Chain A
């Protein structure tokens, strides 16, 4: 219980700070970018903004990543900053519905963002209005041990048969094909997303996460059957339910496992642990159902103006600033992620270049992530079900029926 108390006390303390700090020409920004790279990126952006706008002083409140998820509810209602970062898709829906974010279509119009940020238009739009400005995204896909693949003579798989064959070869050589840590569930959501996107396609996947399709549908079963094929072929490391995603990294670093279905943020810790551009590679999740165009997963981070903000004029200037091509190039170079602005340059990094090439050629659609596309409660139940399925595949029917029950209630 003490966690909750600490969190709310923290939120209270921040709230008090904000009350005293909202003066004219002062811009209050709340972010959860507390990891080293995101923190440095925001420091640079804010310094750059202040240099170009000497009349504005920025007050920046940095929250810890997990605490932010609770704090944002408090500060949006009680004492709003002028800007706050958050995530696309269903994650922002409750705040939009509660009228806590401000639509910023004017910023998009005036700065020509409809062209320069075109790829993110869909994920920013709810009820025909745009609710924020995206500044970064990153690709998901398969990160793999290039040296192990080369030693065993495995080619990068591009379809399901090749993928299964690659796994078989790895298993024959006592290397587990895929490492994963499902303790915090969402990693299993990533695997499901890709299997479903590849088995049934983007439109089906989005309809499923929107609650328009029953979980007991045969097409969902087809996805799960493909997953079962992987489980039967011993694709995943044992005891994954005991590990967080970070705790699953050592298996890959040691060479006990050769692949990781992950987001690009996994590259930094893998390199820190000793892998290099020569031993670590990236490939697009292979095709499963032939002929279905390859859709990708690329979560987008956004900056919003809270509806209760005091200094909305300068907040709009900041949004226009962070949408600019040069600013997005710079911020994403530090973040190690991809800029949304089409005129930005991508950092000279093998993985970012690969991600950029993959995402910019994607025509089938870009999903956010299971827990951003589906509403919170559905996402939680779903990911829990996926974790259970990965350990107890024989319970598939019970799991799908449970998810269907949740769906009927959540989307009513």
Chain B
């Protein structure tokens, strides 16, 4: 009796499955991904947004204060300094792309031992950002740093790059460009490997060389690599936290802060623990990233439709 009913039920399930298989299957396959995405991306984002409406030290009671954190942010000099520095980072970090392309073109030749040179050029990217930061701090050191040894040997006054509010951000960006250029280089090198030799030969026959060859034949074929290079460089610029933390700790007097660092300082550092305020900063940073992410998604969507 019960067995019969069980079988009846099973057939019902099977029927339901057969009728809706096409509709259900994608969702089943997506389920683990969606679950992870919800747990690690969507829920934390909404949580940050809600924390930004509270005054909270991470220990005691949360106190709802509405948009007061944002109002304070609008009147916070340090916030504008960070925002300005973020823009400088975004713009100057893009230099890594032509830089990487140049090195890649230079290394894209068959010479004895070229692999070793390629690895050496890629080396800065493999190093930890902390090491890069330390190396450049020593490079800039006003007393014994290599840069100032060179400058003083020409009879100029030494420049304390990391202690000068006007120069400090540029100094850190140069340090950041070193590994980022290597990263872009490796992207372009793989791109160059995939370039169709037939097209190049055809272009040669048509008497193309030098700049025109690069501009009209090589670069169009490197478009996918360029796109990825822009994506990783923008991301790298927006999360430029490690170098700032290692090289200057945000100083002198906070003039080298970027939004990510300022958020960390307000929320988690020794003198911080204003979780709400930190969350408000990160929401603003998220907004900026969102503009960019939308652009990337739109492009990917367009490319896929076109393909």
Contact = CB atoms under 8 A, between A and B. Distances in A.
Given A1-B241, A183-B249, A77 B59 contact: yes
Contact of A242 (B141, B239, B265): B141
Interface in A79-135: 94-95, 97-98, 100
A238 B148 CA distance: 14
B268 interface: yes
Contacts of A73: 58-59, 273
A70 B141 CA distance: 30
Contact of B59 (A94, A241, A387, A402): A94
A343 interface: no
Contact of A371 (B58, B239, B264, B271): B271
Contact of B253 (A69, A239, A384): A384
Contacts of B162: 241-242
Contacts of A379: 271
B251 A100 contact: no
A185 B271 CA distance: 12
B274 A377 contact: yes
A387 B273 contact: no
B48 interface: no
Interface string A162-188: 000000000000000000001111000
A44 interface: no
Contacts of A240: 163
Contact of A241 (B58, B241, B251, B270): B251
A241 B142 contact: no
A242 B163 contact: yes
B160 interface: yes
A8 to B, nearest CB: 9
A294 to B, nearest CB: 29
A1 B245 CA distance: 10
A177 B180 CA distance: 43
Interface in B59-80: 59-60, 72, 77
Contact of B248 (A2, A98, A183, A371): A183
A388 interface: yes
Interface residues of B, number: 32
Nearest to B246: A3
Contact of A1 (B60, B239, B273): B239
Contacts of B160: 238-239, 241-242
Contacts of B270: 69, 376
Contact of A97 (B60, B158, B249): B60
A391 B239 CA distance: 29
B249 A388 contact: no
A238 B143 CA distance: 10
Interface string B235-264: 000010110010011011110000010001
Name which of B158, B163, B241 has the most chain A CB atoms within 10 A of its CB.
B163
Nearest to A387: B253
B208 to A, nearest CB: 45
A70 B269 CA distance: 8
B2 to A, nearest CB: 46
Interface in B268-292: 268, 270-274
A357 interface: no
A385 interface: yes
A70 B59 CA distance: 12
Given A1-B242, A239-B142, A376-B273, 17 more contacts: A1-B239, A94-B273, A95-B59, A98-B59, A98-B60, A100-B59, A182-B252, A183-B251, A183-B252, A241-B162, A242-B140, A242-B162, A376-B270, A377-B271, A379-B271, A380-B271, A388-B253
24 contacts: A73-B273, A94-B57, A94-B60, A94-B273, A95-B59, A97-B60, A183-B163, A183-B251, A239-B158, A240-B163, A241-B163, A241-B251, A241-B252, A242-B142, A242-B160, A242-B163, A371-B271, A377-B274, A379-B271, A387-B251, A387-B252, A387-B253, A388-B253, A391-B253
